[in-house]
Amino acid sequence: MAKPKVAFYWCSSCGGCEEAVVDLAEGILQVVEAVDIVFWPVALDFKRRDVEAMPDGAIDVCFINGAIRMSEQEAMAKLLRRKSKLVIAYGSCAWMGGIPGLANLTSKKAIFDYVYHQAPTIGNGSAVEPLPRTEVPEGELELPEFSEKVRTLDQTIEVDYYLPGCPPTPKITLEAVEAILKGALPEKGSVLAGDRALCHECKANASKPEKLLIKEFKRIQEVIPDLSKCLLAQGLLCLGPVTRGGCEARCLKAGMPCTGCFGPLEKVHDYGAKALSALASIVDSRDEAELTRIFDAIPDPAGTFYRYSLPASLLGGKRSAEG
């Protein structure tokens, strides 16, 4: 049997997902032995025209990471969709929009105004902005266009499976590859990680009080947490109770509360609203003024609760001023 053909591509993301593939360490040898990598711009010298030359459906599995912001990313996603039997959204940006998706709290215009005109390090005397097309004596130059909003991969093309994480851990990546090789994939559209809250994987879960109530939110730089005890009970804003497990609680082992990169559990429709609900309801106060003071310690609720999922949320981002 011929080896399955695999492709990797990178859209709006930091590169951490590509790093995660490399982080498989010697596991990558197993992968390379079992599959044929036919496209991976970050590591191997293939060009877009190589993909265009393939027959439709020639790639067995395509892993795409990153959200979609530029027209070139959208075009590549569509091209890869056509050429691939399976498309896997790899990482939280491709699945839910991720950190780049927080740009939906502002507008394209505001971003351009700042980046090209107002930033203190910018000297842009002739007030130039990038244009999709520019005429020069030598001919027409083309640049990818910056879209109004950041979109997730499945708001752009059809996606078969999702691997959560910022980035996905080597464990879930290898498990997914194994499932693909064995033909043991679950129902289309599944998120390839567990469906239990992260708390179940956290060592400190046993110490979580029966009735968890907190009087004050503390920020991570203000305290040295006791790692044997539940971080949330110590007042650190940990999103473990509302976040999908599967990451082996790696951040928590290092004393870092969960920021929610593995996204919502199956029955949750809007991660941010649900996370806000869970966190707010355990605050130990019945007084409105006191509550306001306690919540002042969360200066950016949208950025905190929608950190990885704003484009995939019910509202998608900030309502545009023009309605």
Partner 1 sequence: MSEAFNPRIVGFFCNWCTYLAADLAGTSRMKYAPNVRVVRTMCSGRVDPQLVVWAFRNGADGVLIGGCHPGDCHYQEGNYKTLRRMGLLRTMLAQLGIQPERLRLEWISASEGERLRDVMNEFSAQIRQLGPLETKSSVISSQSSVAQAAP
The verdict on 195 binding partner 1 (CB under 8 A) reads no
Angstrom distance (rounded) from CA 220 to CA 144? 39
- Nearest approach in angstroms of CB 286 to partner 1 is 5
In the complex with partner 1, the residue whose CB is nearer, 35 or 105, is 105
Question: If you search the block for the tokens 């990482």, which residue do you land on?
Answer: 91
The reply on whether position 272 binds partner 1 by CB under 8 A is: yes
**Which of the residues 292 through 321 are near partner 1 (CB under 8 A)?**
292, 295, 298, 300-303, 305, 311-321
- The site string for partner 1 over 94-113 (x = CB under 8 A, - otherwise) reads --x--------x--------
Q: Which is nearer to partner 1, 185 or 280 (CB)?
A: 280
Asked if 233 and 274 touch (Cβ cutoff 8 Å), the reply is no
Binding window for partner 1 (CB under 8 A); candidates: 19-27, 38-46, 150-158, 249-257: 150-158
Give the helix/strand (H/E) hosting 141. Answer: strand 139-142
- Contact with partner 1 (CB under 8 A): which of 158, 195, 216, 222? 158
Start-end of H helices in 114-255:
170-182, 250-253
Q: Does 124 interact with partner 1 (rule: CB under 8 A)?
A: no
Q: Residue 110 phi/psi, 5° resolution?
A: -65, -40
In eight-state DSSP terms, residue 267 is T
User: Is the CB of residue 203 less than 8 Å from the CB of residue 252?
Assistant: yes
Is residue 241 close enough to count as binding partner 1 by CB under 8 A? no
Q: Which of 310, 313, 201, 215 is nearest to 258 (CA)?
A: 201
**C-beta of 233: minimal distance to partner 1 in Å?**
17
- If we measure between CA atoms, which residue out of 247, 268, 84, 65 comes closest to residue 152? 65
- Site for partner 1 contains 35 (CB under 8 A): no
Nearest-10 Cα torsion for 83, 88, 90, 96:
110
Lookup result for tokens 């509550």: 291
Would you state the torsion angle of the CA atoms of residues 65, 69, 75, 81, taken in this order, to the nearest 10 degrees?
30
Alpha helices, DSSP H, located in 160-248: 170-182
Nearer to partner 1 (CB atom), residue 49 or residue 211: 211
Question: In whole angstroms, how close is the CB of 199 to partner 1 at the nearest point?
Answer: 19
By CB under 8 A, tell whether 269 contacts partner 1.
Answer: yes
Angle, vertex CA 282, rays to CA 295 and CA 205, nearest 5: 120
The nearest distance, CB 200 to partner 1, in angstroms, is: 22
Pick the binder of partner 1 from 18, 74, 154, 160 (CB under 8 A). 154
Residue in 264, 265, 307, 308 binding partner 1, rule: CB under 8 A: 264
- Number of residues that this document lists for the chain: 323
Q: How many of the other CB atoms lie within 10 Å of CB of 74?
A: 19
Total residues interacting with partner 1, rule: CB under 8 A: 48
Q: How far is the CB of 271 from partner 1 (least distance, A)?
A: 9
Residue 202: what residue type? C
Determine if 285 is a binding residue for partner 1 (CB under 8 A): yes
Specify the DSSP element, H or E, that contains 89.
strand 84-90
**Which of 24, 37, 48, 155 forms a contact with partner 1 (CB under 8 A)?**
155
Tokens of 240: 């473990």
The yes or no reply on residue 74 touching partner 1 (CB under 8 A) is no
**By CB under 8 A, residue 277 contacts partner 1:** yes
Q: Which is nearer to partner 1, 204 or 313 (CB)?
A: 313
Q: Which residues bind partner 1 (CB under 8 A)?
A: 96, 105, 149, 151-152, 154-155, 158-159, 189, 264, 268-270, 272-274, 276-277, 279-281, 283, 285-286, 288, 291-292, 295, 298, 300-303, 305, 311-323
